Copies of this chain bind each other. A is one copy, B any other.
């Protein structure tokens, strides 16, 4: 699924153009495809044959009669291949098999510590993936590809984690190589917040060009959608907002070794530690959220304050990036309305009217499934994109 050449290299480009048109689900005749793709009819006929053979496109019968025999119509077949989508969290692994439109066909969730190391976690992923494929009536040879989200920085081009702070043993590990050896599948890897942003955008905000997805859990990170596409940045670390120095954070010591980081003030781990120190035992951001939902006043106050701190950093991002929607997800966002209320309070107060007049700040709709859905869309879009189709269909 690597790029094999320029956008318009050879006949594959025509194939990709035809497939791209059909992916909206509407059946078309060869003549319609030729007109819409700007290709010669003879070219379209050849390309359609290639796609029929691959199974990605099927023939359908609902052609409109034009007097004589109705012309053949062609339609995208989302079940032609399957995708294995994996969300590795700090303390869980969610695995799903989807079709080519991202519909989940089979799914599994289990508690598993990422600190168990790459071999244990990825061995589970491969075994569970094979089991889910079987449950969905598929085999590994049906896989279009496998998408994996990891809870730390990843060099997207190689799929290897780079100095991930909470993943001992994973640094530089060849994640794609390990999985490929066991499932014979193309593998794409990214950090969990990027794929959550992608999953949330594709399933709920596809009509918005610019979005920021913020995950507030043990730590705090974000994923940016710019012009409809994931913005990874030049080193692949765009959206890394957890260690932005906070105006109100002076003195708070962060696990990164610095002080005043957003995460040290507003992260779930920091809040849990503060509650525990105050005699209210809490371990994770989920614990903090549960306490706030249950009405614990110290928890509510700390979560609201966390929202304000996150809003302080987001206000600057809004000025620079001018998104039309900010989505708040992650364990701490389960704390009723307290977190998002704090975010809204500061963002709307600090942002310029023009940048915030149509800005929406909302909870995640995709919820726990944002990451696996994003992992699936990452694979689908890279594999069915015109620039990548040659690798998928062969020479």
Contacts and interface: CB of A to CB of B under 8 A. Distances in A.
A355 interface: yes
A178 interface: no
Contact of A40 (B43, B237, B247, B323): B43
A278 B224 CA distance: 45
Interface string A95-114: 00000000000000000000
B322 A233 contact: yes
A163 interface: yes
A12 B40 contact: no
A190 interface: no
A358 B234 contact: yes
A35 interface: yes
Given A210-B234, A227-B231, A316-B313, A12 B38 contact: yes
Nearest to A246: B247
A208 B234 CA distance: 8
A244 B233 CA distance: 22
A42 B238 CA distance: 46
Given A244-B315, A244-B316, A234 B12 contact: no
A13 interface: yes
A296 interface: no
Interface in A341-358: 350, 352, 354-355, 357-358
A357 B162 CA distance: 14
Contacts of A227: 226-227, 229, 231
Interface of A: 6, 8-14, 17, 20-21, 35-40, 42-43, 153, 162-163, 208-210, 222, 224, 226-227, 229, 231-241, 243-245, 247, 256, 313, 315-317, 319-324, 350, 352, 354-355, 357-359
Given A226-B231, A227-B229, 14 more contacts: A8-B17, A43-B43, A209-B234, A210-B234, A226-B227, A233-B323, A235-B354, A235-B357, A235-B358, A237-B352, A238-B321, A240-B320, A244-B315, A321-B321
